[in-house]
């Protein structure tokens, strides 16, 4: 038989756990944003987005606008997915710079782009935050014209737009 004091004890412990976890999340440099953009159709909220010094990166949610930008050649497109996935299909003309290799590939990246370039970063889709992280790092390095294609490759492919394979451009 459950005693009233057992139920009260459980509620007290649960309350302390919630308060402690919210406090740790608030001071953690990798804390999870508790308010912000949660609609997966509009992109994702990055971990750490609750930081006061978080960088705002422009997000493009219109695949037709992205297609026009890509076709015009007005932007340098960066695919931040793993090379094995990039090789299976990517936005035509996209350069592959995986987020995981950002630090080791930074010098090679800086040979391809300048802080004045218009840059569009994408990854797998709206549930992937790698493009946001990569774009934020570029902005922190002084790049002024960086945008994220929130729909990523999944949306691009879903729209029936041309897809390039490694070594084969459409």
The tens digit of pLDDT for each residue in 43-63 reads 444 444 444 445 678 899 999
Q: Which CATH superfamily is domain 40-158 in?
A: Rhodanese-like domain (3.40.250.10)
Choose the weakest-confidence range: 20-34, 59-73, 105-119.
20-34
pLDDT of residue 122: 97
Q: Which two tokens stand for residue 117?
A: 């370039």
Q: Which two tokens stand for residue 40?
A: 């997966």
Task: Say which DSSP state 82 is in.
Answer: -
Q: How confident is the model at residue 66 (pLDDT cuts 50, 70, 90)?
A: very high
- Stretch 132-145: mean pLDDT: 93
- Stretch 103-132: mean pLDDT: 93
Residue 155 contacts residue 63 (beta carbons within 8 Å)? yes
How far, in Å, CA of 80 to CA of 102, rounded? 9
How far, in Å, CA of 62 to CA of 54, rounded? 24
Q: How confident is the model at residue 36 (pLDDT cuts 50, 70, 90)?
A: low
Give 148's strand partners: 59, 121
């Amino acid at each position: 038989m459950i005693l009233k004091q057992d139920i009260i004890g459980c509620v007290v412990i649960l309350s302390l756990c919630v308060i402690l976890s919210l406090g740790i999340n608030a001071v953690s440099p990798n804390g999870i944003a508790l308010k912000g953009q949660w609609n997966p159709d509009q992109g994702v909220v990055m971990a750490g987005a609750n930081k006061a010094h978080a960088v705002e990166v422009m997000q493009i949610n219109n695949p037709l606008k992205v297609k026009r930008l890509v076709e015009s050649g007005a932007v340098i497109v960066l695919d931040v997915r793993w090379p094995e996935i990039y090789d299976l299909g990517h936005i035509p003309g996209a350069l592959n710079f995986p987020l995981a290799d950002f630090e080791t590939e930074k010098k090679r990246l800086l040979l391809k782009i300048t802080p004045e370039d218009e840059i569009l970063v994408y990854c797998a889709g709206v549930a992937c935050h790698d493009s946001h992280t990569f774009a934020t790092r570029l902005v922190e390095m002084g790049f002024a014209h960086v945008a994220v294609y929130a729909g990523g490759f999944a949306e691009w492919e879903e729209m029936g737009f041309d897809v390039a394979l490694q070594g084969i451009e459409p």
